[in-house]
């Protein structure tokens, strides 16, 4: 039953049946399936397959857009549920997050932001295609502990390095921990550009953010 409903979410996401994705997500919640399980085993496999089909030329841009719409509308239903499960009432730290300049991929960055706020971080989400100076301004304004930089394209990853350089120039590099992520990003890239942390997914991002604040990494 659980596997069935999650498989149907994946299938409908790929078929571009946004309404069904939302209905099934609601049904999954009613059936008592945890929101994170719906995300990780229902929605994300759909996005993954959509990307693979795009690489093979079986899907085109409109397919990706409609799959993204399905994921985002389902997330609108899941986010309040995730907030209800917020684990710590006190603020663990302040995070500024966004997708770097030239890159409009939104979903992964938003998921990382959502899970960080569920865990107790105060999150300022700057959105997508964010110029370096905007990150710097917001870090200064909020006194952020952590800056999260997302990049989904091999051509925009370089933007992460540019933001780090801009922080150095503004004299803020020592005041904020930089956490990088996104599909083409890796631990070695993080090290190469002088970031403080890297995580492969949103759950990992929460762990690394906590470790960074506790000074473990």
Q: Contact positions toward ligand B12, by CB under 6 A? A: 44, 47-48, 50-51, 54-55, 61, 64-65, 68, 102-109, 111-112, 148-150, 152-154, 179-184, 199, 201-202, 205
Q: How far is CA 63 from CA 67, 103, 130, 172, in A?
A: 6, 18, 25, 41
Coil, helix or strand at residue 178 = strand
Count H helices and E strands in the chain, helices first.
Answer: 10, 5
Q: Which is nearer to ligand B12, 15 or 30 (CB)?
A: 15
148 - beta bridge partners?
Answer: 97, 179
Q: Which is nearer to ligand B12, 33 or 202 (CB)?
A: 202
Residue 82 Cβ vs ligand B12, minimum distance, rounded to whole Å: 13
Residue 72 Cβ vs ligand B12, minimum distance, rounded to whole Å: 7
Q: How far apart are CA 68 and CA 70, in angstroms?
A: 5
Q: How far apart are CA 201 and CA 174, in angstroms?
A: 25
How many other CB atoms are there within 10 angstroms of residue 20's CB atom? 16
Number of residues written out for the chain: 217
Intra-chain end-to-end CA distance of the chain, in Å: 41
Residue 211 Cβ vs ligand B12, minimum distance, rounded to whole Å: 12
Q: Which is nearer to ligand B12, 1 or 68 (CB)?
A: 68
Residue 57 Cβ vs ligand B12, minimum distance, rounded to whole Å: 10
Q: Which is nearer to ligand B12, 105 or 161 (CB)?
A: 105
Residue 62 Cβ vs ligand B12, minimum distance, rounded to whole Å: 8
Q: Which is nearer to ligand B12, 32 or 197 (CB)?
A: 197
């Amino acid at each position: 039953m659980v596997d069935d409903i999650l498989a149907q979410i994946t299938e409908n996401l790929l078929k571009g049946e946004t309404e069904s994705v939302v209905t099934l997500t609601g049904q999954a919640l009613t059936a008592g399936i945890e929101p994170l399980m719906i995300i990780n085993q229902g929605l994300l496999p759909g996005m993954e397959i959509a990307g693979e089909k795009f690489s093979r030329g079986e899907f085109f841009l409109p397919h990706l857009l409609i799959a993204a719409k399905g994921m985002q509308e389902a997330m609108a239903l899941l986010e309040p549920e995730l907030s209800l499960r917020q684990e710590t009432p006190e603020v663990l730290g302040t995070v500024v997050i966004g997708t770097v300049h030239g890159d409009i991929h939104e979903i992964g960055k938003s998921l990382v932001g959502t899970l960080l706020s569920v865990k107790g971080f105060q999150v300022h989400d700057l959105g997508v295609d964010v110029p370096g100076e905007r990150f710097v301004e917001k870090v200064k304004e909020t006194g952020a502990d952590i800056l999260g930089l997302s990049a989904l394209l091999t051509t925009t990853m370089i933007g992460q390095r540019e933001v780090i350089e801009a922080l150095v120039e503004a004299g803020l590099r020592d005041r904020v921990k930089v956490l990088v992520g996104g599909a083409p990003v890796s631990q070695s890239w993080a090290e190469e550009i002088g970031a403080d942390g890297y995580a492969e997914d949103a759950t990992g991002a929460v762990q690394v953010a906590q470790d960074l604040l506790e000074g473990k990494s």
